[in-house]
């Protein structure tokens, strides 16, 4: 029985066993696809100064208000474990100044949010995302979305739904928020407690509140696009046309706003039917972020890897139990054979053959059992007698055949 001492913190998971090979294969595929689109990797630190997130994500957002893992470091500085990837990457890019123009970066790694754990909602989860620097350009937004769907397809997820919307230019967000507030104020009493608070602090979020009473109010509002300037609407229409030209199906969801303050123009979400209540596989959007005298515009997305894995399981993708198998298992009877096998093992590994053996001098039976468990397709057996005769016994674990080979031809046999 696992005791509390052997468990990770609540909402966090160890990833090992056959499952980890599935993670690695998803990561390998992601790297390959990102390369096709001209992206390179950036690894930013997991802890950042708290201000990086409060400033970039926005003080009034759920993440900043309720979900950050924030603590004082030994120097009394406020530090936060990253709840998302964009803020750190943008900090890095701002440091590059002009060099960051047109940068295309991707990241993969753990994120931290102190949420109530449930299926598809963890406190440590993993995201794989990209950031594409550049001023508002619907072609870049379309390319970013196309890249994301390409990657999902390569992973084996073809039945995803893409929902898109626009938040209008950054400059008009205050005016849109004011108009929404005016429309909602008379119906404040019908909204849930959270949304009553959001009316002042983050009125856009009321649009995507999941509570029925709020949805009823929201359904009576005009779509966001009607509150926007013609330029913003045109940007969005051009994006939709470009997506069509690229063969990407997109459904407009006029209530989609996404949680973070930094978005401007395009926002999107990708859902998967197998995910139930937490059905968002991924989110993305265009942003403009200011910090002191610096500002940075770009477009990006983040995919939740745990949810990608859940969706993959629903379409029948399971971890491969044999992924970890060695090619060859070496069985040694006696001290001399153990030493000789150890040298052989090293030789084989240098030649690129994955092999393994028991180092504890266990019985032949125990070693054969271990060989079986390892999934190795070939087993090499030797004891004193074989050493004297300069031969080895080779057993094919698939056919069950067993025969003697001389040490010189062993390698050829193992490589076939």
Q: Which residues bind ligand AMP (CB under 6 A)?
A: 84, 113, 115, 120-122, 125, 127, 259, 280-283, 302, 304, 306-307
Structure tokens that stand for 182 in this block: 């005016």
CA neighbours closer than 13 Å in the CB half-sphere of residue 269? 16
* Residue 57 or 331 having the CB closest to ligand AMP: 57
Question: Least distance in Å: CB of 280 to ligand AMP?
Answer: 4
Minimum distance from CB of 169 to ligand AMP (Å)? 21
Shortest gap between Cβ of 307 and ligand AMP (angstroms)? 4
Pairing of strands 161-166, 251-252: parallel
CA gap 52, 296 in Å, rounded: 14
CB 31 within 8 A of CB 41: yes
> Which residue, 88 or 259, has its beta carbon nearer to ligand AMP?
259
Q: Are 18 and 309 in contact (CB under 8 A)?
A: no
Compare residues 156 and 383 and give the one whose CB is closer to ligand AMP: 156
Residue among 131 and 386 whose Cβ is closer to ligand AMP: 131
Q: What residues contact 185, with CB distance under 8 A and at least 6 apart?
A: 199
Q: What is the closest distance, in whole angstroms, from the C-beta atom of residue 125 to ligand AMP in the complex?
A: 3
User: Residue 217 or residue 250: which is nearer to ligand AMP going by CB?
Assistant: 250
Distant-in-sequence, close-in-space partners of 307: CB < 8 Å, separation ≥ 6: 120, 272, 275, 278, 280, 281, 282
Closest approach, Cβ 212 to ligand AMP, in A, equals: 22
Cβ distance to ligand AMP smaller for residue 138 or 268: 268
Among residues 227 and 257, whose Cβ is nearest to ligand AMP?
A: 257
User: Whose CA is closest to 250, among 148, 154, 137?
Assistant: 148
**Cβ distance 259 to 136 under 8 Å?**
no
Residue nearest to ligand AMP (CB): 304
Residue 86 C-beta: closest distance to ligand AMP, Å:
8
Q: Which residues have a Cβ under 8 Å from the Cβ of 287 and sit 6 or more positions away? A: 86, 260, 262, 263, 264, 297, 298, 299, 300
Residues in the chain: 416
Q: How far is the CB of 126 from ligand AMP (least distance, A)?
A: 8
Edge-first strand order for the sheet with 47-49 is 47-49, 78-81, 69-72
Taking every pair of Cα atoms in the chain, the longest distance, rounded to a whole number of angstroms, is 96
């Amino acid at each position: 029985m696992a005791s509390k001492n052997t468990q990770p913190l609540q909402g966090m998971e160890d990833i090992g066993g056959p499952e980890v090979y599935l993670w690695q294969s998803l990561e390998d595929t992601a790297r390959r696809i990102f390369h096709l689109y001209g992206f390179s990797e950036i690894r930013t630190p997991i802890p950042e100064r708290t201000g990086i997130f409060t400033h970039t994500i926005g003080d009034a957002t759920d993440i900043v208000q309720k979900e950050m893992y924030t603590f004082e470091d030994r120097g009394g500085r406020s530090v936060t474990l990253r709840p998302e990837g964009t803020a750190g990457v943008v900090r890095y890019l701002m440091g590059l100044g002009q060099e960051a123009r047109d940068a295309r970066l991707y990241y993969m790694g753990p994120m931290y949010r102190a949420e109530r754990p449930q299926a598809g909602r963890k406190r440590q989860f993993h995201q794989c995302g990209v950031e594409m620097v550049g001023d508002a350009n619907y072609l870049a937004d379309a390319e970013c979305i196309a890249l994301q769907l390409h990657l999902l397809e390569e992973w084996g997820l073809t039945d995803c739904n893409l929902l898109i919307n626009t938040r209008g230019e950054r400059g008009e967000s205050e005016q849109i928020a004011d108009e929404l507030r005016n429309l909602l104020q008379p119906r404040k009493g019908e909204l849930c407690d959270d949304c009553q608070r959001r009316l002042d602090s983050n009125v856009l979020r009321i649009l995507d509140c999941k509570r029925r009473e709020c949805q009823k109010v929201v359904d009576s509002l005009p779509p966001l696009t009607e509150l926007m300037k013609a330029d913003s609407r045109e940007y969005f229409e051009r994006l939709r046309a470009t997506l069509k030209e690229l063969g990407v199906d997109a459904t407009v969801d006029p209530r989609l706003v996404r949680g973070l303050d930094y978005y401007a123009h395009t926002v999107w979400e990708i859902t998967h039917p197998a995910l139930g209540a937490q059905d968002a596989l991924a989110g993305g959007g265009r942003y403009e972020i200011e910090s002191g005298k610096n500002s940075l515009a770009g477009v990006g997305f983040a995919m939740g890897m745990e949810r990608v894995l859940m969706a993959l399981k629903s379409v029948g993708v399971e971890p491969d139990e044999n992924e970890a198998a060695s090619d060859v298992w070496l069985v040694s009877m006696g001290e001399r054979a153990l030493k000789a096998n150890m040298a052989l093992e090293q030789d084989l590994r240098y030649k690129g053959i994955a092999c393994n053996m028991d180092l504890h001098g266990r019985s032949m039976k125990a070693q054969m059992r271990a060989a079986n468990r390892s999934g190795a397709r070939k087993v090499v057996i030797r004891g004193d007698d074989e050493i004297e005769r300069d031969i080895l016994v080779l057993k094919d674990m698939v056919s069950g055949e067993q025969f003697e080979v001389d040490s010189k031809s062993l390698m050829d046999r193992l490589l076939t």
